[in-house]
Structure 1
């Protein structure tokens, strides 16, 4: 019975190895109130209650109306993404704009233009990699998959900067850098040693990111075992992240290899409850797919521009705009 329960528990966290159907599209909505009291000062207000909860907008970036020339007004929504409750990140296929005309009638804005472009959500990242001897013959595979993840990230985001924290009894580190070859060589030359100081390594990775001024900071952790040598605790690590004054908190990704049964299952449980994206693959070969999926999850960030005329619209009677976004996982 205990073994059955353990398998069921671990299966809750396997998010990296399922088969996604790319043809299964969904529609998400953004609702805005829009007014333009002089024709030259367009303003917008986000309607969070009506908008799809999967829409995640970074309001620290541009979110406003702007006048353009003598004829046009623009609505700009910079840096938004679509994430569902399982942390699946969606790729936009099409966006249509509608204006509410009353009596539950929506008119598509065929005369006005809506455009979107994919931007980046990757600034600085730290890879925390277990190199304890419990990995055994799987170690070379893990290094290969981590290197491929680095290659994948640089291919989609050439401006990214990545650091590495590797650990056994004590953590060591490669400072955050944009030099891909330096990172790949560092990973290639890692060697296994005794013990597992997981929390000390995560703590070091968090410190590296806290020194970063980037608006996007990501911590990706891989381990196959239970911490048995750290001075820090997991709660110390989480408290340090939560106390960060930067509004854009460090985003956490965690891979816990469960194949040999050494993984402390309380770690992915706690991290998942704190909003981390967690995966517990059952074998080293599945880790490759998890790294691939994590690479997709940190992408797919968009910039939307909607252009219309400079018609005067009072603030007390704004029009309601709706953007229908067709997207796939």
Structure 2
């Protein structure tokens, strides 16, 4: 039997939409019909949506969008958190009023999102939000958390490791460095000089990125670097190789390099996000939220996030 709070024909709802591919300037908030939960689906009243680089990268042009299965008109954003307000027949494990978080590819910045209860990122996924995790934080977990978890699984870090993380202060970086610390590893993280204190607050030994990176790491006198994670490009990979890290213990997420393992959030362990959410609930992992914006200011939020200098996560509030 389908459970409802509200129902068909209850009126328009807001969603961020694109009528053409491009930058933040193509994003608009539109009134759209309320989606309805079908069999095996739940509908979530979204309260917060977290932004990720992939959101604007995959909607920048038609060719990239096609690789993700997107066509016009399209929605925007993937990470969400909110409250279940419809449960379709056969959607077991959820009831109206449950707090949930998850991912729905390029349609999360909206008042409502419908997801399959046994789906994937394309059809949408939902996880129960633990007590002690607010919706704004929960809305940042899915993409960055699963990507960081998948990368850490590749590296298999332990107390014997010193890991170099390139782009340590970014959206994935804040998860990766803390998960590495929880695994017992020593963490060296690259960033701009202005991020040094911020990285230290995450338990990271900061080092400035750019020319001379290998020399600066050696000057830290931290002993051998045993693993590396490049979250941005290739500079960290090259530095790790110069430091003697074997290719099998180097991982990328944004670049494909021959001989180097690459991580993808889709390959994270099935319970990775539940584990991360529990770490957040127990205060063992914190998610810095750099800024929150109302949905009407979506363009400004994306401009800030796309600048890649934000410390932590950017969240849209609905």
User: Please, what TM-score do these two structures have when normalized by structure 2?
Assistant: 0.29
Q: Which has the larger radius of gyration?
A: 1
Q: Which has the higher contact order (CA 8 A, sep 6+)?
A: 1
